[in-house]
Structure 1
Amino acid sequence: MKPVIGLAVGRGTGPELAVVFDRVLAALAELSGVEIGVARSPRTYHSYHSLRAEGGMSRVRELTREDADHYERFCRTQAGLGTPAIFRTAVNAQSLYLVRERLQAVKVDVLTTPSSSLLLVRDEAQGFYTGENRHRPGAVDRTTTFSRAVTEKVVAFALERARREWPDHEVDRIVMAYKFHLLDGALDDWVAESALRHGVEITLSQPDTVNRNLVEHGLAPRTVIIAGNEWADIMHVVLLDRFGSEKQENRYTENVHLHPEVSGLVEYQTVHGSADDLEGRDVVNPTATIRATAAIAERHGRCAGAVRRVEAALEAIGARGVLTPDLGGTHSTTAVVDALLAELQPASTLVAGS
C-alpha cells in the first residue's frame, strides 16, 4: 500500500507553498521509485488577516470556530485512516490552538551547536495560548486550563523523544520554563511527581531564570527544555540565533499529537507565518517548505536519503545565488524550486557522506 500524506492549506501564501510541497514531494518520490498519495483538506483555512477582512469580532469568532472544528475533523479522519503525517501551511493561531488543546499537541524542535544539542518541546496543549474567550463590553475574558494529566503526558513525551534523540547518552539537563508562580503551587507538585515517576531530575524555572542561565552558562551537551508557549514562542528566534545559526524563514517544526485517538499523527509546518503581504507575488521563501517536504518524504514516504539530497541541492543553488529576496537574492519562489529540482540527483549518484 502506498503511503499517503495529509495536506492542509491556509490563506496568505499557503496556496503557493502547497504547490512547492506537491512538486518537491513528487520529485523525491520519483527519484526513489515510490508512489506517495496526498490527501488534501477541502477547506482553505483562514489567516488572521483574512479573518479580519471578513468582518467584526462576531464573524471572526464564528469563522475561527469553523476552521478549528473542520481542521480537527480532518486530523482525526486522517489518523483513523492511518495517515502518518500532515503538512500544514500557516493558519490563524486561535484556530490552531483550539485544535492543539483538543488533540493535546506538543511542538518539537532540535537546535545544535558544535558542542551541544537542545531539544525544545513546546507545550501546546495547555496554558495561556489555549482556552476560550468571553466577550463583554470593553473587555475580553480568556479562560485557560492546566492539568496534571496533560503535564505528565508532555513530560513523558519529552523524555521519550530525548531517548530517541540521544540513544547512547544520558540527558545532561532537563528544564521546564513556565510561569508556575501563577498556579498556586500546583505545577510544582505535578512536575515533582513526574520527575519521581520517571527517575529523573527536572528543574522547574521561571522563564526569566531560564534566560539568565542560558546567557550565563550556555547549553549542556544534551539539554531538554519543556516550555509553555508564553516563553517558547517568543524565545524561539533568539534560541535559533544564539544556538542554531539559522533563520526562522528557513526552518520547519513538528507538532506531535498526544491524544490517544490521534496518537502517532505528526504535523509538519514552516516556522514562518502566512506572509499575507507576499500573497500572489511568487516571492515567498520556499526553503522551510522544501525541508519539511524532504523530512516527510524520508520519514513517512519511503524516500531514503531525501533530506541529504535536498540539503545538497539547497547548498548548491544557494552558492549560485539562487535565492528569494528575503535572503538577498532576486529569484522568484518558482525559480528557486525549478533550480532545486534540476539540481536533485538520483540516490544512486550520491556519494555517501556528500
Structure 2
Amino acid sequence: MWGSAVDSVVGLAVGRGTGPELARVFERTLDTLGEVWGTRFSVSRSPRLYHSYFSLKGLGPEQIRESTEGDAAQYEQFCRTQASAGIQAVFRTAINAQSLYLVRQRLRAVKVDVIESTGATLLLVRDEAQGFYTGENTHSPGAVSRTTEFSRDITDEVIAFAVDRARRQWPDTGADQIVMAYKFHLLDGALGEWVAESAARHGVDIALAQPDTVNRNLIERGLSPRMMIIGGNEWADVMHPFLLDRFGRERQENRFTENAHLDPAVRGLLEYQTVHGSADDIEGRDIVNPVATVRATAAIAERHGGCAGAIGAMEDAITATVAQGVSTPDLGGADSTTSVLDALLKCVESAR
C-alpha cells in the first residue's frame, strides 16, 4: 500500500552481458519495495550501455583502448553528475574492468564488504584508488607497459576511511585487529613509512604484511572477533571469493558490495554492485542469479529511501525461497530469473 509518498532518486548504470536483465530485476524490486514501504522511487539511468570484457573481444588494441576510455569518461561524468544532484546511491551491473578501474582511480574509490562468520566479523576494505590495477597502458611493437602509482596522501585517505568505517561497524570497541595486505616490498620501503605515520596519526595499530603472509595466517588462525583487512586492489580482488566461501560460507553470486569515493566532489555517493561478473555466456536466457541484485536493491531502499526493515525482509524472503527449493541453475536449481524474482517479491509483499 502507498503511504505518504517520498521522492527518492537512485542512479542506475548498466553493462552488457546480463546487465540489462539485472537492471530489470533492480527496477522491479525497487518498485515493489517502494510500493510496500510507501516510498516513491525514481531512477536516473545512464544513457550508455557499457562494454563488458566479452563485448570487446575481437577488437584490436587501439579500438579496445578507445572504447574503454570512452566508457570510463562517460561513467565518471555520470557519477559526478549524480553526486552534484544530491543522489546518494547508484546501482551498477558489471562493466569492463579496464574502464572501471580508470574510474575508481579518478574518483579514489574504496570497496567495502562485511563478512559475518561464526564468532567473528571481517570488515574488508579494498583500496581501489591506487596500485597495480590503476594507471594506463602504453603500447610499442611487441610490448605493452603499464605505469602505476602509490602515494602518501591516498594511503592516508584510505586508512582514515577504513578506521572511521571500523568505528561505525563496532562503535564501542573498534576493530581488535587491523591488517594491511600489500606487496609493499616492491615499493622501496615507502609504503611502510606512510602506513606507520598514518597509524600513529589515527591512533591505531596496523600490521602491514605481504599478501602470502596474510593468506597463511588466515588459513592457520582464522579471523579475530572484530578484524579489519585493508587490502591492496589486486590481493582483495583475488581473495574476495575465497574469503566469502571460507568465512562467510556463501558464494559470490549471491553477494553485493558497496564502493565509497574519497574524491570530495563525489564523497557522498555510494555505488552498489553485484560481486559476480557480466556472465555474457548466459545473456538473454533468463537464468542469471538475481539474489545479489535484490539484496543490493533492498540495501539501497533501506539506507537511502527510508524503507526501514527492507534488508531483513529480503533476507527472510531469500531464506524462504531457498527452503522452497526455488533457485537458478548456478545454485543447483532449475528456475528462471523471473521465477525466482516472482517468489522473492511475493514473500516480501506477503510479509508486510
TM band (smaller chain)? over 0.9
2:8–2:39 Cα contact (<8 Å) kept:
no
> In structure 2, what is the equivalent of residue 162 of structure 1?
166
Aligned residue in 2 for 1:50: 55
Which runs of no fewer than 5 residues in structure 1 stay unpaired? 350-354
Q: Give the superposition deviation at 1:170.
A: 3.2
1:338 maps to 342
After superposition, the C-alpha distances for 1:98-121 in whole angstroms (9 at most, x for unaligned) are 000000000000111121111000
Matches for 1:220-235 after TM superposition, within 5 Å: 220-235=224-239
8 Å CA contact 1:309–1:345 kept in 2: the answer is no
Is structure 2 residue 266 aligned with structure 1 residue 262? Answer: yes
AA aligned to 1:40 is: R
Partner amino acid, structure 2, of 1:17 = L
* Residue aligning to 2:3: none
Counterpart CA distance in 2 for 1:115 and 1:127 is 33
1:108-158 C-alpha deviation (Å, 9 max, x unpaired): 001111211110000000000111100011111000010001000000000
Alignment match, 1:118:
122
Give the 5 Å matches for 1:229-244: 229-244=233-248
Please state whether the residue corresponding to 2:48 is helix, strand or coil. Answer: strand
2:15 maps to which of 7, 10, 15: 10
**TM-score w.r.t. length of structure 1:** 0.97
Q: Does 1:184 align with 2:188?
A: yes
- Structure 1 stretches of 4+ with a deviation exceeding 2 A read none
Cα deviation for residue 334 of structure 1 reads: 0.7
SS of the equivalent of 2:236 reads helix
Give the Cα separation in 2 of the matches to 1:119 and 1:318.
27
CA contact (8 A) 1:5 1:36 kept: yes
State how 1:242-257 maps to structure 2 within 5 Å: 242-257=246-261
Q: Which residue of 2 aligns with 1:352?
A: none
In structure 1, the residue matched to 2:103 is 99
Alpha-carbon displacement from aligned partner over 1:167-209 (angstroms, at most 9, x marks no partner): 1223210000000000011101100000110111111000001
Say if 1:346 and 1:163 are closer, same or farther in 2 by CA, change over 3 A: farther
Q: In structure 2, how many angstroms separate the alpha carbons of the residues matched to 1:114 and 1:59?
A: 48
Residue matched to 1:29: 34
Matched pairs, number: 347
CA apart distance, 1:346 = 6.0
- Cα RMSD after superposing both structures: 1.0
Identity in percent: 68
- Identify unmatched segments of 5+ residues in structure 2: 1-5
Question: 1:191-232, CA deviations, whole angstroms, 9 ceiling, x for partnerless residues?
Answer: 000011011111100000101111221111111100112111
1:207 aligns with 2:187: no
Deviation at 1:21, TM superposition (A): 0.1
Contact 1:31 1:346 in 2 (8 A): no
Counterpart of 1:19 in structure 2 is 24
